[in-house]
Structure formats: C-alpha cells, structure tokens
Amino acid sequence: MKSTRTSRSRILPWSVLAVAIGLAGSMAISSAIMLSLLTQAAIYAIFASGIGVLLRQSGVASFGHAAFFGLGGYIIAILLNDGAVSAETAVILALVGIAVFAFLLGLVIVRVPGIAFAMLTLAFGQLFYQLASNSRSLTGGADGMTINWPNSLFGVSFSTLLDQHVLFGICWVALVLSLAALAWLRHSRLGHVSEAIRDNIERASFIGIQTLIPRALIFAVSAIIVGVAGALSAVNTGFISPESLHWSVSGSALMMVVVGGYRLVWGPAFGAIVFFLAKDWIGDYADHWLALFGIALIIVVVFTDAGISGALNRLIHKKRKGGPANGAVAAVKP
Amino acid sequence: MLTINILNGLVYGSLLIIVASGLALIYGLRRVVNFAHGSLYMLGAYIGYSIALHSNFWAALIIAPLIMGVIGMLLDRYGLRLLQDRDPLSVILVTFGLLLVIEDVVQTVWGKSNLSLDEPELLNTSIQILGTTMPTYRIAVVVAGAAVALGLTLWLRGTRMGLFVRSASTDPTTTAMQGVNTDRLSALVVGLGTALAGFAGVVTAPFLSLSPSMSGDVLIDSFMVVVIGGLGSLPGAFFAAMILGQVQTLGAIYLPDISALLPFLLMIAILLWRPAGLAGNRT
C-alpha cells in the first residue's frame, strides 16, 4: 500500500525534528521548577499515549492503566530491594513482565463488550491498589517504598541521570520514541487488523481475521508503553506508593487522552502537556483542579469529537487546503 | 461465628442491591454506565447527614432520596437525553467528568475529614437471631434491601408503567412508536435510580463513616455486581449482590491474605464462563 509507505516514511523526519526542538527548547530553560514540571508532563505524556493507543486501535477505554504505571515502579523496587539482579535487568524484567502479563490478561478481558470493559479495567486497577496497600511486608503498605537505585544505570552515573536537563532529555526522547513506535504500529498490519476489528468485529472475523490475538496484542502494547512511563517515574521520584496505582491516576490520564484527542497519535501526549501547564497556570485554584478538568472534559466530549488535537488538525488542514479536513480525522470515525 | 459473618455479608449484599439496582435501571433505559453513581451515593449520604443534624434520621431517610431523585431527573433531562445519540464511550466520559465535579463539591462543602451519623434511637438496640446477637440497625438494612428488591420487582412485573419500562429497556424505538413517552419514562427511571443511590447513602451513614473516599469502593463493587449479574438485568444484579456481599465479608475473615483478590477471581471466572454475565443474553 502506497499511502502506508509514505505515511511511515514521515515518521523518522518528524521524530528527529521533535527530539531536536524538545532538547534545544529545554536548554533555554533554566528554572528547575519548570524543568521538573516538564519532566513530569513528558512522563505522563507517555502514560497517556499508552491509554490512547487502546482507544485509537481498539476503541475501548481503560480506567485501570495506573496498574501498569505503578507495577513498573513496584517490580523494579522489589527486585532492587531483593538485590538478586542488577538494576538494568530489573528494568528490563519489569517491562517484559508487564508485557507478558498484559497479553495474558488481554486474552481474557478484551472479550467483554466495550462498556463492561471500562468497568472491568476500573475494578482490575483497584485490585492492584488494594494488593499494594495490604501486602505490607513486600511493598511497605500504604507508606510506599523507596527505590534503591545503584550508582549507575545502563553505564550512566545516577547523579548525571538526575540532572534536570538530562532527565528531561531522557523522558522527552522516550516520549518521541514511543510516539514513533505507535505511529509505525498504526500503519502496520497489526494496526490495520485491529482497526478492522474495532470497526466491525463480525465482518472482520468473516473475512478470516483472528479477532482475539490482535486485540490482546494492542492491550499489551498499551500496557508496555505505560510501563515505560512508570519506570521513568521511578527514576524521577525514586519512590513508589499505592497512590500511583489508584483509579484516580488512571482517570486523570484518561482525561488527558480525551481532552487531547486520541485519533491522532500525538493527541494524548499533547493533552498531558496541556494538563500540566494548565494546572501550573491556575495555581491558587489547584484545590479544585480535578473538578475544573472534569468540566473541561465534559465540554470537550460534548462539543468536539476529536479533542484539542483534532480541532487543531482541522484548523491546519482548512488553512492549507482551503476546505474541510478529511484525511486522518475523518477516516478514523468509529 | 460463621452465622454472624454470613449475616454481615447479607447486610453488605443488601446495601449493594440498593446501589446496584439504581445502576442497572439507568443502564436498562439509557444504555449508560453511570460512573458518577458512586458519587451520587456519597452526595446522598452527606445531604442525609446534614438533614439529620438539623432534624432527625427519619426525615433524612425520606428527604435526601427525594432531593437526589430531582437531581437524577435533571441529569437525565439536561444530560443523558441530549447525549442519547452519542457513542457510549462519550457518555461514560461525561459521567466521569461529573464524578470529579461532585467529589469536589462534597469536599468543598463538607470537608475532607470523616463524619459519622448516629443510629436512630428506635433501632439502637440489638436482637438475638439464629443464636447470635446482631445490632437491630443491621437487620433493618437487610429488610430495606429486601424491600427495594421486592418493590422494584413488583413494580416492573405488576404495573403498566413497569411494563413500559421493561419494553423500553428491550427496544426504546419500538416502545416509543407504540405511543409511550420514553423520554419522560427515562427521566423517571434515572430519577428513581439516583434516589436509590441517595437512599443507600443515608442507610449506610450510621454504620460506615462518611468520607470523600467512600464513593470509590461502592462504585467498584456495584460495577462488579452489574457485570457479574449481566448488564441491565435486575434479578441478575440482586443475585450477584448477595454473592459478592458474602465473598467480601467471608473472604476478609477466613482468607485475609487474598481477600482483595477473591471478588476479581470470581468475576473473571464468571465472565470466562458467560461473557455477558449470569443473566445476560442481550449484547
């Protein structure tokens, strides 16, 4: 397919451009508070992208992905406390573990219809919150646990890693790589197959598509991306507690996805960055932050169908072509 | 010992019946899973608390559900009815946004600390039942749950309006073509469902403390009830609520290490066996 090839060939230049702009931009910022805010935004942008791929490719919303976010941190923390493996192995084991676990779980839960799926993921996410809160000996219970990072990770000394500019740079590059992978996935065979299943599962199975495995694979991809965000957060904060598994974390991330718009690959990440910058901007009203964002969510869902990114995309295309946008936005109507 | 635990499971199951039947009713008519249902339950409990402070528990038990019923009707008229042509996911997200707003309202008005409400004097005793002593209030909760289950069943099976509700749950378009005003019916049913959430909130207030985190657990448990029972099925929800009440209570006593896992294992097992839930046959 020609269109697929041209779409894929755009991924590399855009990624290089995004990395360059992000890194150059961060060099110009000297405020430590701003950098730490942007680092957090980049981590949550990865988190949101993981939830976004599930919505984009499978058309289902997860209210429980905080489980994979926290699980990344917990697996690393527990393995490092145990001391049996090196930090590098711990990080890799955590990501592989999440991928395998999510695939197996996906085989079970993607079979339930969309609405029940949303409810199941909420319940499932809360299960991990309760497990982490209750197993005091393993996880330190509600107090959480400090992650005993060694002096260096993947050959880089930890003090360098924790330099604000370096840490932001790592998170930013990880974000761009995740988005590039998701853009590639969208134009891959798995991407096309999963969209066919999303649009009409009966027709897809009539034309001979195996419908269960691709959906479980998308679920696993979405979990592993969220797991990467969890591992980066573990480096950033050096601490993990049940709070990071709570359903309100999943809910906030899902809001970023929806407000940003999930039909475009960069939409959820954009939503996360808007979320953090707006939260910083409103400052004094931060106590009512979630309610304000809840209202924003309702407005976005009621008045747009593709979030901020979709609206921006339409605006750009209108200017460029002098007509209503078709392309990406219109083509992915569920 | 076993008797008292089973009775406590019955108490929690009865509470779940009241909350989950509201959720199932709203799903039946509007095909909406109301993520704000737990928050509405919490709001009902707090409104009941304020009324009880100014007058008494019995006034709270009647007035708070009425207020919640009006809120539910407004929610249907100015929310769900306008969104009925949107895809289910959008509506779920709107109710999720509503959840955040209600949680914030509750925290702003009543604060974040735990509040508690005294049992009414009439029920502030204990009675001997099956050889154990139970607080009368808890028995009253079981009676309330049974009354709600029985009342809803009689209403749906025995009255003309119940017939309309059942037919609108099966096929709203055809029902409307037969001359039933399904919009008014939906407003009534969403109002009733929300009033039941508020009723459950007031009933809970004397034996579980009020806190801004009280909505989450109940929301998740009642989700499990309606998923296990089969979305939109009331008998399924009643049955699942009773099972879940026992699993939660007995699990916490006899298998404390894995008690948090049990409801999920049960749910996964049932969904593997019947993906649409125990009573679910519709898609």
Chain A positions in Cβ-Cβ contact with residue B35 (cut-off 8 Å): 63
Say if B111 falls within a structural domain.
Answer: yes
- The domain of B18 spans 2-212
Domain count, chain A: 1
Name the helix (H) or strand (E) containing A145. Answer: strand A145-146
Domain count, chain B: 1
Nearest CA in chain B to A55: B89
Diameter of chain B measured on Cα atoms: 57
Q: How confident is the model at residue A320 (pLDDT cuts 50, 70, 90)?
A: low
Mean pLDDT, residues A305-314? 82
Chain A positions in Cβ-Cβ contact with residue B89 (cut-off 8 Å): 55, 59-61, 114, 118
> Which carries the bigger pLDDT value, residue A322 or residue B10?
B10
Closest CA to B24 of B34, B15, B14: B34
Say if A212 falls within a structural domain.
Answer: yes
Dist CA A41 CA A24 (whole Å)? 17
Dist CA A27 CA B174 (whole Å)? 64
State whether B104 and A127 contact (CB < 8 Å): no
Supply the pLDDT for residue A165. Answer: 83
Dist CA A152 CA A130 (whole Å)? 33
| Phi, psi at B56, each rounded to 5° | -150, 175
State whether A297 and B88 contact (CB < 8 Å): no
Contact B165, B171 (CB under 8 A): no
Say if B280 falls within a structural domain.
Answer: no
CB contacts < 8 A (A, B) = 108
Q: What is the DSSP letter of B119?
A: P
Please list the pLDDT of chain B residue by residue as tens digits (283 residues): 788 888 889 999 999 999 999 999 988 888 888 889 999 999 999 999 999 988 888 999 999 999 999 999 999 888 888 888 887 778 888 898 999 899 999 999 998 888 888 777 777 777 777 777 788 888 889 999 999 999 999 999 989 888 888 888 888 888 888 888 888 888 999 999 999 999 999 998 888 888 888 888 888 888 889 888 888 788 889 999 999 999 988 888 888 777 777 887 888 788 777 777 788 654 4
Say if B247 falls within a structural domain.
Answer: no
Dist CA A130 CA A126 (whole Å)? 6
CATH number at residue A107: 1.10.3470
Say if B234 falls within a structural domain.
Answer: no
Shortest alpha-carbon distance between residue A302 and chain B (Å): 8
Chain B positions in Cβ-Cβ contact with residue A116 (cut-off 8 Å): 227, 231, 277
Say if A312 falls within a structural domain.
Answer: no
Say if B203 falls within a structural domain.
Answer: yes
- The domain of A138 spans 2-303
Say if B248 falls within a structural domain.
Answer: no
Q: How confident is the model at residue A2 (pLDDT cuts 50, 70, 90)?
A: very low
Closest to B90 (Cβ–Cβ): which among A116, A131, A301?
Answer: A301
Amino acid at B34: N
Say if B258 falls within a structural domain.
Answer: no
Q: How confident is the model at residue A5 (pLDDT cuts 50, 70, 90)?
A: low
Say if B233 falls within a structural domain.
Answer: no
pTM for this structure?
0.84
Say if A318 falls within a structural domain.
Answer: no
Burial A131-167 (b: 16+ CB within 10 A, else e): bbbbeeeebbeeebbebebeeebeeeeeeebeebeeb
Model pLDDT for residues A78-108, shown as the tens digit of each residue: 888 887 788 888 899 999 999 999 999 888 8
- Percent with pLDDT over 90 in chain A: 19
Closest to B260 (Cβ–Cβ): which among A108, A111, A130?
Answer: A130
Q: How confident is the model at residue A332 (pLDDT cuts 50, 70, 90)?
A: very low
Contact B41, B200 (CB under 8 A): yes
Contact B75, B190 (CB under 8 A): yes
Say if A181 falls within a structural domain.
Answer: yes
Dist CA A28 CA A272 (whole Å)? 22
> Which carries the bigger pLDDT value, residue A38 or residue B231?
A38
Closest to A291 (Cβ–Cβ): which among B101, B226, B276?
Answer: B101
Q: Is A294 on the interface with B (CB under 8 A)?
A: yes
Closest to A115 (Cβ–Cβ): which among B83, B92, B264?
Answer: B92
Q: Which residues contact A6 (CB under 8 A, 6 or more apart)?
A: none
